[in-house]
């Protein structure tokens, strides 16, 4: 089912399947900011990530002596969510552990995603409750795609990313889709700017640590832009389908990383950057997107 939240500036659509954003449209310019899922490049729009970021080697991990299987980014993005709160400018959906999730992930939990509109800003809060009697290990993240260009007469190469403050990012070195265990400095233009071009993504996604906690997607020649803040996410990723000229880019705030590129089944708690949440405790992480 599709749900709508809106205010004077924005109209946002969210699907109960995956609690996934379907549209982010600014009313005064009738601009669609969210990628609309062209299957030639990427059929999704804004995947919600839980309880793992990225892939597992051979799709498997172990916990307490048992081997489990789980797909890329976990199961949150392919599950049906239930609306627990709705008003004009806010929507909260919930996913609870059931037989399907327990077969993949042996923890009892409840997770909410709360979408809130304030002026031209959409806030996305990822809230995880550990309802079990044991420590729970997980990661969360967002995978929203955005249309690039956002205005007629522009090209993908007109766009760039500007970090909120001068910074010296560390690039997470990947071997294919897995974490190598290493990082390397990634110099920005004037310590702040990262130009976009399609071949930038020919070796899969780019993930950065040590950024400024916020970044703006903008054009050298246009007026429309997207500002994302992710103050409590350790990593931010950039992605489009490799070796294409996809008219989009995904900006992905993550708390975790893909599995290490090592053979064998690894324990869940040993997967890189997993959050450990004590029994009956709650975790919250929020990122925002402003559509100017």
Q: Which two tokens stand for residue 59?
A: 């799709």
Task: Calculate the alpha carbon distances from 289 to 119, 249, 274, 275, 286 in Å.
Answer: 11, 14, 25, 24, 10
Answer for the pair 179, 272: CB distance below 8 angstroms, yes or no. yes
Q: Which two tokens stand for residue 37?
A: 């899922």
pLDDT in tens, 34-81: 999 999 999 999 999 999 999 999 999 999 999 999 999 999 999 999
Q: What is the pLDDT along the chain (292 residues), one digit of tens a residue?
A: 999 999 999 999 999 999 999 999 999 999 999 999 999 999 999 999 999 999 999 999 999 999 999 999 999 999 999 999 999 999 999 999 999 999 999 999 999 999 999 999 999 999 999 999 999 999 999 999 999 999 999 999 999 999 999 999 999 999 999 999 999 999 999 999 999 999 999 988 999 999 999 999 999 999 999 999 999 999 999 999 999 999 999 999 999 999 999 999 999 999 999 999 999 999 999 999 999 9
Cα 37 to Cα 151: distance, rounded to the nearest angstrom? 18
pLDDT in tens, 215-249: 999 999 999 999 999 999 999 999 999 999 999 99
Domains of the chain: 2-291 (2.70.98.10)
Cα 77 to Cα 82: distance, rounded to the nearest angstrom? 13
């Amino acid at each position: 089912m599709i749900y709508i939240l809106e205010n004077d500036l924005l109209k946002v659509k969210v699907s109960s399947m995956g609690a996934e954003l379907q549209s982010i449209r600014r009313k005064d310019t009738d601009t669609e900011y969210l990628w609309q899922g062209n299957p030639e490049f990427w059929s999704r729009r804004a995947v919600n990530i839980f309880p793992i970021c990225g892939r597992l080697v051979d799709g498997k991990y172990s916990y307490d002596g048992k081997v489990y299987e789980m797909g890329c980014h976990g199961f949150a993005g392919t599950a049906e969510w239930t609306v627990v709160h709705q008003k004009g400018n806010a929507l909260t959906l919930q996913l609870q552990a059931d037989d399907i999730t327990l077969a993949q992930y042996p923890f009892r939990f409840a997770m909410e995603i709360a979408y809130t509109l304030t002026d031209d800003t959409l806030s996305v809060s990822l809230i995880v409750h550990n309802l079990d009697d044991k420590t729970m290990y997980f990661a969360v993240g967002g995978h929203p795609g955005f249309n690039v260009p956002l205005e007629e007469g522009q090209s993908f190469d007109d766009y760039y990313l500007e970090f909120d403050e001068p910074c010296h990012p560390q690039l997470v070195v990947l071997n294919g889709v897995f974490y190598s265990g290493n990082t390397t400095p990634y110099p920005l233009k004037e310590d702040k700017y990262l130009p976009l071009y399609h071949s930038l993504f020919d070796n899969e996604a780019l993930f950065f640590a040590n950024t400024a906690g916020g970044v703006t997607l903008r054009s050298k020649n246009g007026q429309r832009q997207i500002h994302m803040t992710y103050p409590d996410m350790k990593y931010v990723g950039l992605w489009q389908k490799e070796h294409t000229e996809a008219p989009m880019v995904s900006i992905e705030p993550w708390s975790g990383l893909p599995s290490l590129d090592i053979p064998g089944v690894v324990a869940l708690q040993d997967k890189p950057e997993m959050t450990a949440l004590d029994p009956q405790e709650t975790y919250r992480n929020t990122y925002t997107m402003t559509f100017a």
